[in-house]
Amino acid sequence: MIQTLAYGGNPIVWVVIGIIVLLLFGGQRIPEMMRSLGLGMRELKKTMSEPDDDELRRDREAQQRAEIEREVRARVEAEMQLRRESENKQAQ
């Protein structure tokens, strides 16, 4: 029966299920349930489409590391250039 319901099933089965739901929850409660179901689905889609906080943190850390490495390389090269210049002056 579950497979039949999953693929559309018999319309009479859906009518019976609808009547049972109306009897269990009442006519006023069903719109509230559908509204909360819609909000839940919207929140799930929003959560699925947003990047993970951990991913953002890792990307930010990787960018910071790359920037620090560039700064260190620039400083080392500047220091090496100064040493070469001072060695050349001493050699002359």
**The total number of residues written for the chain in this structure:** 92
Domain count across the chain: 2
Q: Distance between CA 64 and CA 72 in Å, rounded?
A: 12
Q: Are residues 58 and 29 in the same domain?
A: no
Q: Distance between CA 63 and CA 73 in Å, rounded?
A: 15
pLDDT confidence of residue 67: 94
pTM above 0.75, yes or no: no
Q: Are residues 60 and 87 in the same domain?
A: yes
The pLDDT tens digits for 63-87 are 999 999 999 999 999 999 988 888 8
Range of the domain at 73: 52-92
Least confident interval from 16-20, 34-38, 47-51, 73-77:
47-51
